[in-house]
Structure 1
Amino acid sequence: MMHIGLIASFVCAYVGFSCWAISQTQHWRTVIGGPFPSQEMVRTQRFFGMVMVALSLIIALFNDGFSFGALVWVLILSLAAILVAFSLVWCPSLLSYINKVISYFYFANAVEKTNKP
């Protein structure tokens, strides 16, 4: 059961760092291409990234307690950040899937899709 908490904490940290990376102009061009999104979408991505990293901390603390969970969380953060950097270099299409999920849940984007004839 402990491994599920570690994996969940890592996945949350990886998604959070991916959101932060995609919200930057250079990484957006590498991963998505095309025009840069609106400031609202950038803020949404950064907020979602912050929430996911905070959720990673909560899961790590709940899983291992305060003292050891904080240490594990720092190690998970460093591993997730390195893997996001590797993903940007070797497989940027993986990060585009994360962006598709975020934009799917983005309410203003859904409203624009329904208003088109």
Structure 2
Amino acid sequence: MPELIPTFLAFALAYLAFAQLALSQPQHLKTIAPDARPPGKCRGRKSVATLLLLISLVLLLRTEGAAFGTLIWVQLLSAAGFCVAQTLAWRPAWLHWLVAARR
């Protein structure tokens, strides 16, 4: 089980990255926090998302090796994107803490 910790951590980082990318879009931000002001250029959110995705990739490359780490990372990206889409569809309030942290 301890060998799965880097994979779970990489998934969590990818989930947060996709949540940040979703919050950089005005329609999702309005759904989560109707009183929030429009995001503007959102360079900060997109930069954080890119950094989180890069960290998750490096984490998997270091723990799993180049070939298998890349394969797991690509699969985690699709799973994390799907989970963020489902969170936005069913429980958008769960992402409200990300908006509150950026104010």
Same fold (TM over 0.5): yes
TM-score normalised over the length of structure 1: 0.81
- The 8 Å contact of residues 20 and 49 in structure 1, kept in 2 or not, is answered as yes
**Cα separation, 1, equivalents of 2:52 and 2:83:** 16
What residue number does 2:12 align with?
Answer: 11
Q: Give 1:38 deviation, angstroms.
A: 4.0
**Cα separation, 1, equivalents of 2:39 and 2:77:** 27
TM-score normalised over the length of structure 2: 0.91
Q: Give 1:33 deviation, angstroms.
A: 1.3
**Cα separation, 2, equivalents of 1:71 and 1:88:** 26
SS state at 1:33 partner: coil
- The 8 Å contact of residues 17 and 52 in structure 2, kept in 1 or not, is answered as yes
Task: Name which one, 1 or 2, has greater alpha-carbon Rg.
Answer: 1
Per-residue CA deviation, residues 38-70 of structure 1 (Å, 9 max, x unaligned), is: 43xx11111101111111111111121101000
What residue number does 1:88 align with?
Answer: 88
What residue number does 1:52 align with?
Answer: 52
- The 8 Å contact of residues 10 and 56 in structure 1, kept in 2 or not, is answered as yes
5+ unaligned residues in a row in structure 1: which ranges? 104-108, 110-117
The yes-or-no answer on 1:64 pairing with 2:61 is: no
Identity %: 31
What residue number does 1:36 align with?
Answer: 38
- The 8 Å contact of residues 9 and 56 in structure 2, kept in 1 or not, is answered as yes
The structure 1 segments of at least 4 consecutive aligned residues displaced by more than 3 Å after TM superposition are none
5+ unaligned residues in a row in structure 2: which ranges? none
Q: Give 1:89 deviation, angstroms.
A: 0.5
CA RMSD after TM alignment:
1.3
What residue number does 1:115 align with?
Answer: none
Q: Give 1:99 deviation, angstroms.
A: 2.8
Matched residue pairs, number? 101
**Cα separation, 2, equivalents of 1:20 and 1:52:** 11
**Cα separation, 1, equivalents of 2:99 and 2:64:** 30
- The 8 Å contact of residues 26 and 39 in structure 2, kept in 1 or not, is answered as no
